[in-house]
Amino acid sequence: MKYPEASNYINGAYVPANTNRTLDVISPLDGTILSRVPLSGPADLDDAVSKAQQAFLKWSKVPVKERVQVFYRYKMLLEKNMTALSELIREENGKTFDEAKAEIEKSIELTEFACSMPQMVCGETLEVSRGVECRTEVCPVGVVASIVPFNFPSMVPHWTIPNALVLGNTMILKPSEVVPLSALKIAGLLEEAGLPPGVFNIVNGDRSLVEAICDHPGIDAVSFVGSTNVARIVYARASANFKRVLALGGAKNHLIVLPDANPQMTAANVAASMSGCAGQRCMAASVMIAVGDCEHIIGLVCAEAKKIIPGVNLGSVISAAAKEKIEKYITGAEKQGARILVDGRNVVVDGKENGFYVGPTIIDQVTPGMPVATEEIFGPVLAIIRVKNTDEALAVENANPYGNAAAVFTQSGGMAKYIADNASAGMVGVNIGVPVPREPFSFGGWNDSKFGVGDLTGKSSIHFWTKLKKGHNQMEP
Ligand code: NAD
């Protein structure tokens, strides 16, 4: 094992879990065992919740302008530790170093936004009649839980940590059990920045811990990011226990390409969108809808995809099971009559024979009913569906149950607006393949990609992490 056994982090201390259940942490880059993570039980969660409740009594009373000071220092620590953190993410997640570094840069941007909270959350006051004022005040919700997926070990936790904590909440983070190491490093940096004990806690575990979080009476709000099936379970279970819940799910993102699109720019965008982070992004292009004669663009997309080399500028997928599942989808489409233009199956990287690599794969002649057209594959695979006109393209996009992202590539302003207006997705790009909103704009999809009201980042997250107190004061007799 390269690293010591992972622990939990409760009340400012790295503590072992009360459990015999553990899981090996395997680097998908080469199959080596990095560490072992405890799969905590209810007693560990009880301990973390009780410490978070105690910490809440003080932290919630600290003025917001004072709370952000911790995060100004934390942002500088992220900058200082960027290389070490990026390397750890690369090892445990399998993405490239540059992709891991981009995650830390995004984590910094998210922290910077949280530092602007004093400017964002001023209440309102109005003298509603002589000597009588009404006022509002933004108050934290309490102890909140953040349950996160494997694909962004730093960025997704930073969707929730800085905003929730700056707004006065205390938190239990439940990292993905397959990438638990980066979160523990983040805890150390928050501590170094001066965050008081108990404000941020980590409990490692799997499904049973998530269920315990949904049921725990001491947890007031639950945010979840992961697959749609689990998002549904978490939303239903935590809501049934009267918690505030926001659950972000999976995706199947469509890029609609018109024949007048700038060919080279479009091809570069499409190839980067479907292959970045080995296709394991909830914003990745999964289906390209080619409207009319897009032959010249499809040729360029394939040429771009062939420049993406596993083990060089393409990382691994997360596990052997993921690799097998992705390759099954490709083979299934081939058997159903689709044409494999670029084939990423059976890739072996020299010197990393035990790593889990899938090369970029482009599948043409896909029809809307095929599993590669409808299901989330979560690998570097692009299905091309050919249609005659934009309304047919929109019908295919609208029929998919997810609604995270969509994009249109064209040089016509009118067509771009028509498609962007009518795509059924929460985040829409025009000539941008990965339309992730930047702060202060909020991140969140529609349809089966999100359950709950509002978004998880940016301005919209303020409503999720706070509740309003309304005051009505007579100041004079
Ligand atoms: P996942 O749903 O398997 O796991 C997410 C979290 O849920 C993990 O912490 C895991 O321990 C827990 N979990 C897993 N199975 C569970 C179960 N049956 N009951 C309760 N908890 C359970 O997701 P993943 O494989 O880690 O991540 C990939 C998925 O996340 C993809 O579907 C991707 O689209 C999605 N994702 C979505 C967004 C978004 O913003 N919408 C962002 C990132 C990832």
Q: Which of 174, 179, 223, 227 for mutating ligand 1's site (highest number of atoms within 8 Å of CB)?
A: 227
Query: Which sign, positive or negative, has the C-alpha torsion 366, 369, 373, 375?
Result: negative
Q: Which of 215, 282, 457 for mutating ligand 1's site (highest number of atoms within 8 Å of CB)?
A: 282
Spatial distance between the Cα atoms of 290 and 392, rounded to a whole number of angstroms: 10
Identify the band that residue 475 occupies on the pLDDT scale cut at 50, 70 and 90. Answer: confident
**Paired strand residues for 14:** 9
C-alpha 148 to ligand 1 mean position (Å): 7
Identify the band that residue 1 occupies on the pLDDT scale cut at 50, 70 and 90. Answer: confident
341: closest CA among 359, 319, 356?
359
Active site residue 122: no
Question: Cis peptide leading into 440, omega within 30 of 0?
Answer: yes
Task: Indicate the helix (H) or strand (E) that contains 394.
Answer: helix 390-399
| Mean pLDDT on 287-293 | 98
CA of residue 214 relative to chain centroid, distance: 20
Spatial distance between the Cα atoms of 305 and 302, rounded to a whole number of angstroms: 5
Cβ of 379 closer than 6 Å to ligand 1, yes or no, is no
One-letter amino acid at 460 equals S
* For the CA of 147, the nearest atom of ligand 1: 9
Helices (H) and strands (E) in the chain, counts: 16, 20
| Mean pLDDT on 335-358 | 97
In degrees and rounded to multiples of 5, residue 135 shows phi and psi of -145, 155
Contacts of 255 (CB under 8 A, 6+ apart): 269, 270, 273, 285, 287, 288, 289, 406, 407, 408, 409, 433
* For the CA of 450, the nearest atom of ligand 1: 41
Identify the band that residue 292 occupies on the pLDDT scale cut at 50, 70 and 90. Answer: very high
pLDDT value of residue 335: 98
pTM here? 0.98
Identify the residue whose C-alpha is closest to ligand 1 atom 13.
207
Spatial distance between the Cα atoms of 181 and 85, rounded to a whole number of angstroms: 10
pLDDT value of residue 398: 98
Cβ of 283 closer than 6 Å to ligand 1, yes or no, is no
Identify the residue whose C-alpha is closest to ligand 1 atom 9.
176
